[in-house]
Structure 1
């Protein structure tokens, strides 16, 4: 009988670079590799502690003098659509949803390029080519889906979400949509539809990534009822978005060693052969 020895994941920190959300600030990330037979358990555990997935990496902001980025999720049971969100759902009710395995297509990439060129032409993903796009979609060691939204009247792909299926919810890893329909509010619609998918599947949460107070790009997330944010090592209900502000101070972020020490890792179950 041979046992595989449990090996704790190793954590690293990226070099500082300009923050994409708050002008004049620098960002860095704490990250670890997502691989091996324990990838699913590690992703579930760290997602519940504010981490996000990018291909085979899990990361969380760890900026030296700023703690503005707050992981956000929607409590499906506490969500009630606003009048505006209800109108958005009705406006896009004719769209056809299709969930597929994580496989990139030419139509997806064409839509992705149009979205970036219109919305994020100066962002970090602006130069992503078709091979890098395919890697973003397909390099996943866990249970992931590509959820497409098509307009049957025009035979047109209008929205795509790369979505992870967690033990306690759906995580919207990356979403993009046609920039030609600004009044359709397709980004909001895809979140609303993911709430419905989670409700139908009996999953309690929809993970939205990071909400950044003071960032106009991220302001839309605070408009969803039932929102929770990860603060001080625990999830808290969002009550008044105005009560949160992007704190900047040399002591606002714990040292890396303390952060790693406070991360709860899943039980690593040895396998026998």
Structure 2
């Protein structure tokens, strides 16, 4: 990868435990985190299958495994299916708010409740304000928090951390009230991000990585058309039978 005739340095991370499959070892390909051009390079990195976590822009590069597939939704072609329309109707009492990212007590309480209930023992259970800021906000990226609040009480139910580029949005992370699982808040957050992208004239919503056969990733296949990056180009995945 080159920019302004300067070579961009890439690094392999040290091996670490896979966050998706127990007992597996993972490694990442990481853009030089000290490169001052990261804000400019980030849109191209998204197109090449990279993703942001804190100040790190990375792509899985595991020995002998290519399970993590970058996926995105072409905004202009998306139409919610019957199940997604039901999700919108079921949550008609919620309204979205797009706000600047911050670490507040309200956000932190919801984030910690979500991690303890949804990802127990995953290594993030003890996250506090420092980890919240480091992981979700970062220092060089342009991001917003998409809040989902009850219209009458203004109770916060979900936050979708979203990166902005000129022509795309990237869904970085979503956390929500674990007692409201029946609402389908993860799906609802993506639907609102898609509406946001369409209003602002952006072409794609990046969803990070999809892993075929992994139960926590299956929801991404319910959005169609869904494009996957094969290392060279983006290709539309065949539709599923879910509606």
Q: Same fold (TM over 0.5)?
A: yes
Alpha-carbon distance in structure 1 between the residues aligned to 2:78 and 2:229 = 18
**Mapping of 1:68-217 within 5 angstroms?**
68-217=67-216
Distance 1:217-1:160 versus aligned 2 partners, 3 A rule: same
1:106-140 CA distance string (max 9 Å, x none): 10010001111110012132221221112223323
Alpha-carbon distance in structure 2 between the residues aligned to 1:137 and 1:70 = 22
2:25 aligns with 26
Q: Please identify, of 5-14 and 227-236, the stretch whose mean Cα deviation from structure 2 is larger.
A: 5-14
TM-score, scaled to structure 1: 0.82
Q: Quick check: 1:29–1:63 contact (8 Å CA) kept in 2? A: yes
Offset at 1:77?
1.6
Alpha-carbon distance in structure 2 between the residues aligned to 1:99 and 1:116 = 23
Alpha-carbon distance in structure 2 between the residues aligned to 1:164 and 1:68 = 24
1:59 aligns with 58
Q: Quick check: 1:35–1:141 contact (8 Å CA) kept in 2? A: no
Higher relative contact order (CA 8 A, sep 6+): 1
Distance 1:202-1:35 versus aligned 2 partners, 3 A rule: farther
Alpha-carbon distance in structure 1 between the residues aligned to 2:99 and 2:139 = 14
Alpha-carbon distance in structure 1 between the residues aligned to 2:74 and 2:33 = 26
Distance 1:197-1:234 versus aligned 2 partners, 3 A rule: same
Alpha-carbon distance in structure 2 between the residues aligned to 1:26 and 1:147 = 33
Q: Please identify, of 134-143 and 184-193, the stretch whose mean Cα deviation from structure 2 is larger.
A: 134-143
| Structure 2 residues not aligned, in runs of 5+ | none
- Provide the alpha-carbon RMSD of the alignment: 1.8
Q: Quick check: 2:53–2:136 contact (8 Å CA) kept in 1? A: no
1:74-128 CA distance string (max 9 Å, x none): 1112212111100101111221222122211110010001111110012132221
Alpha-carbon distance in structure 1 between the residues aligned to 2:212 and 2:23 = 15
1:15 aligns with 14
Distance 1:123-1:86 versus aligned 2 partners, 3 A rule: same
1:258 aligns with none
Alpha-carbon distance in structure 2 between the residues aligned to 1:102 and 1:30 = 27
Offset at 1:7?
4.4
Distance 1:35-1:201 versus aligned 2 partners, 3 A rule: farther
Alpha-carbon distance in structure 1 between the residues aligned to 2:235 and 2:123 = 30
Q: Residue 176 of structure 1 aligns to a residue in which SS?
A: strand
Q: Quick check: 1:118–1:179 contact (8 Å CA) kept in 2? A: yes
| Structure 1 residues not aligned, in runs of 5+ | 243-273
1:268 aligns with none
Offset at 1:182?
1.4
